[in-house]
Amino acid sequence: MQLRRTIIPMGTVAAKLKIMPETSDIDIEALEKNIENAVPEGAELKGIERQPIAFGLVALYPTVLIPDGEGGTDQVEEAFSQVEGVGSIGVEAVGRI
């Protein structure tokens, strides 16, 4: 019996991130647009949800498709953290699709 080598392509991962703005005074629409423009190469933004937190503060929840591989969401988190007005970023959920 001869074994065959099969190359299995990497899968895709959907990651939902939570982005908190620096302050409640920030223009949330402008921040959302800047996040859309900051998506790194190799990632695909599927949408951004908004959720009011308190006292006028609104969290953004972008869902991003990325290749399943080493580093996970690091590249996306790094790109989003460079956007002016972003206070913090956290990963809410990750799953293979």
> pLDDT for 49-72, tens place per residue?
999 999 889 999 999 999 988 778
Query: What is the structure's pLDDT at 3?
Result: 56
**pTM, two decimal places:** 0.86
Listed by start position, the domains of the chain span 23-54+71-97
Query: What is the structure's pLDDT at 15?
Result: 96
Query: What is the structure's pLDDT at 7?
Result: 46
Query: What is the structure's pLDDT at 1?
Result: 55
* Cα–Cα distance for residue pair 51/56, rounded to 1 Å: 10
Q: What's CA 10's distance to the chain center, in Å?
A: 19
| Residue spans of the chain under pLDDT 50 | 6-8
* Cα–Cα distance for residue pair 61/20, rounded to 1 Å: 9
Nearest to 30 by CA among 76, 73, 86: 86
Q: Round the average pLDDT of the chain to a whole number and report it.
A: 90
Amino acid at 71: G
Q: Are 95 and 13 in contact (CB under 8 A)?
A: yes
* Cα–Cα distance for residue pair 8/92, rounded to 1 Å: 28
